Amino acid sequence: MRIATAVIGLLALAALAGCKSPTYGGGGGGGGGGGGGGGGPAGEIVVGNILFKSSHNGTQNPAIDTVAVGSTVTWTWTATGSVPHSVQSLGTPSFASSAIETGDGKTYSVTFTTPGTYQYDCAVHGAAMSGRIVVR
């Protein structure tokens, strides 16, 4: 339900901004990047073994997503087995980090209310699992 509300909010924001669509996807970096195309909605990130992967554009390690101010981003533990992971904010600006979680189906969500580029990684795996959220 929260995802549907976020999508409706993004569409309304786009209409108010002169009928321009918000930009999703990301720039390059770390062997990934590129915007456009992809399977799932922006703001959903898979926590896997051992990766963060954008459901919107498929970027991973770093998973890169661009969202509108006020958007909620959700990380979902998928096919992680018994390996622990977390979402750990790095640098400034920052957001509240998650606890270290084990097991599929765990989720962690953050609503981004301030523009900026937010870096994160896994407290267990460090730079091997990383991502970036660009909030505009």
Q: What is the pLDDT of residue 95?
A: 97
Mean pLDDT of 99-119: 96
Neighbours of 54 (CB within 10 A): 30
Across the beta sheet with 44-48, the strand order is 51-54, 44-48, 72-77, 107-111
Please, what is the average pLDDT of the chain?
Answer: 78
Q: What is the pLDDT of residue 32?
A: 34
- pLDDT tens sequence across 24-79: 333 333 333 333 334 445 689 999 989 999 998 999 999 999 999 999 999 999 99
Question: Which tokens go with 45?
Answer: 């990130």
Which carries the bigger pLDDT value, residue 11 or residue 115?
A: 115
Q: Is it the case that residue 100 has pLDDT exceeding 80?
A: yes
